[in-house]
Structure 1
Amino acid sequence: MYKRDLDTLIAQGKLPSALLLYGEPFFTDFYAKKILPLWAEKEHILSFYFDEYHFESAKNHISQPSLFGDVSVLYIRSDKKIPKKELDALVAMTQKNPSSYFLLHFSGDDRVARDIAKSFTKKKGGDFVRFFKPNMGEAIAFMREEANRLQLQIENFALQHLFVLQNEELSLCMNELEKLSLLGKPVTVSDIDTHVYGMGSLSLDTFIMKLLQKEDIKEDLMRVLDGAGSDEIRIINAITAYVTQLMMFHIYIKVHGRYDAVEILGYPLPPQLVKERAAMSIKFKLPLYKKLLEHLLSCEHALKYAQQIDKNSYLISCLIKLQTFL
């Protein structure tokens, strides 16, 4: 099942007694922390983290019914495949003992997780949830909730900026929000560039504007790489998000003859930034947007999966080629 199905079961109080969580790390962490307290108090939960897992101890914890009506919860967090015979036995025990629950929080390869999921079918009394990366709207909603908890004043466009800079890794964004809350003042995009990337780093937005205006970007690219921890994929993702935003502005302007950031993006941007995005968006035609995005996706794929390439040099060649399309 998917996240929305899990939310429904939680709201209805109808969670299965054996559950596997895998996929997007932020969501697996978030829902593990949410589900365990629904099942039992901390003293009734036996937890194994990674190499701590021991089958006999796990089995003993959930196999014996409590004399006092207490529940027994088994929580395993692992990035390695647990033998199928052991998983089948643990899931089966939750069916034999109605006061037992089993949560497997798997943080390894999704291909391995799909195999593990065979032990958590509904037929066996369990279920599994695969989480995917959040889209921009979902990410901002979660970051907004965290910012409110921290009593941090920050606009949605700054949250979007942080999400892109952190390579759309929501867990990293949450950590950065906690650090930014220590500033004790409303947080701006400039604050994010300064405190997340370090002093003197170049704003990615500024760099991308130079790139799309066909300016010489080699020197600026080196500064961005230094500030971003030499993460080439993060830079490609930021450019892709920026170009996608421009295309959304372009389409909206063509249809309505005006621009409105809230209607286009779902959240406001500073007036000057809106004006800049709108002006740049109409410079490119839709076929060019398609060409740019296809090229960026191809570059991202190569950076993630191609072996034995110099990622730094490859990124430079990708961006130089992109400028030839403009």
Structure 2
Amino acid sequence: MYKRDLDGLLSSGNLPASMLLYGEAWFVDHYTDVLLERLGGSENLLSFYFDEYDYESAKNFISQPSLFGDRNILLIRHDRKLPKKELDTFVNLCQKNPTSFFLFAFAGSDQTGKELSRSFSKKKGADFVRFFKPNIREAVQYLQQRARQIGLEIEPYALQHLFMIQNENLSLSMNELKKLALVGGKVNAADIDTHVYGMGEVSMDRFIQRLLAKEDIREELERLLESGSADEIRIVNALQNYITQLFLFYSYIKVHGRFDVQEILGYPLPPNLAKERAAQAIKLKLPVYKKLLDALMEAEFVLKKGLNIDKESYLFSSLIKLQTYL
């Protein structure tokens, strides 16, 4: 199932006896905490983090009845695949023992998570949730919610800017909010550049602007990759999000003859930036948007599936091809 399905289960209180969470890291951590709180906290909780995992100890704990009538909760956080036989044992024990609950918060790849999900069958009273990376609008909403919780006053565009320079990593963006709360006053994009954007790194926004301006991007692409802050797929995803945002501007302007950032994105932008986006969006024609998004979709597919390719060279050639469409 997906996040919305889990939200429904949490609202109804009708949770399975065993659950696997995998995918977007911040959601896995967030919903792990939500589930533990819903199940009664840490009174009868046994946690194993990564190499702490011990099968016999976990099995013995989940096998025994709860002494006080509430649930024994087994939590395993790991980034490696556990033996199917061991997972099946935990799931079967929880199915038979109504006072036990097994939660596996998996921090590895989505492909491995998919393989692990086979042990969490609904027929055995179990289920799994795969979390996907949020789009920019969703990420800003989550960041806004967290900012309110910690008393941080920050402009919506600054949150988008933070998410972009963190290469659309929601966990990293959330961590930076804690630092920004120490700045004092209302935080804007310039504050983020000062306090978050480190020396020697490459701005994803600047890279995208150079690309769309048909400027030479080779050196900046190399720096972006060498910094370790982004890989080939994240760069493609960032471009997809940006082009999609421009297309939203384009479509709205074509229909209404004007632009309204709040209606287009769901949050405001600084007036000068909003005008720049609108001007940039209207310069591109509808067939160009289709070519750009199709090319990026193809590049994403090849980069994710290609095992024997030079990914950096392939990405560079794909981006040069994009520039020929502009």
TM-score (ref. length: structure 1): 0.88
Q: CA RMSD, aligned part only?
A: 2.6
What SS class does the counterpart of residue 282 from structure 1 fall into?
A: helix
What SS class does the counterpart of residue 81 from structure 2 fall into?
A: coil
Tell me if the contact between 1:193 and 1:202 (Cα under 8 Å) persists in the aligned partners.
no
Cα shift readout 1:247-305 (whole Å, capped 9, x = no counterpart):
11111111111111111111111111111111121111110111122223334444555
Cα shift readout 1:88-133 (whole Å, capped 9, x = no counterpart):
2222222332221111112223333333323322211222212222
Q: How does 1:16-165 map to 2 (within 5 A)?
A: 16-165=16-165
What SS class does the counterpart of residue 269 from structure 2 fall into?
A: coil
Cα shift readout 1:25-58 (whole Å, capped 9, x = no counterpart):
1111111111112223424101112222222211
Q: How does 1:166-205 map to 2 (within 5 A)?
A: 166-199=166-199, 203-205=203-205
What 5-or-longer segments of structure 1 have no aligned partner? none
What SS class does the counterpart of residue 21 from structure 1 fall into?
A: strand
Q: 1:225 to 1:194 in 2, by over 3 A?
A: farther
Tell me if the contact between 2:21 and 2:104 (Cα under 8 Å) persists in the aligned partners.
yes
What SS class does the counterpart of residue 82 from structure 1 fall into?
A: coil
Q: 1:294 to 1:196 in 2, by over 3 A?
A: farther
Distance in structure 2 (CA, Å) of the matches to 1:301 and 1:195: 35
**How many residue pairs are counted as aligned between the two chains?**
326
The alignment-based identity, stated in percent, is 60
Match of 1:258 in 2: 258
Distance in structure 2 (CA, Å) of the matches to 1:278 and 1:264: 11
Tell me if the contact between 2:26 and 2:171 (Cα under 8 Å) persists in the aligned partners.
yes
Tell me if the contact between 2:180 and 2:187 (Cα under 8 Å) persists in the aligned partners.
yes
Distance in structure 1 (CA, Å) of the matches to 2:221 and 2:114: 39
Cα shift readout 1:1-38 (whole Å, capped 9, x = no counterpart):
22112111112221122111122211111111111122
Match of 1:270 in 2: 270
What 5-or-longer segments of structure 2 have no aligned partner? none
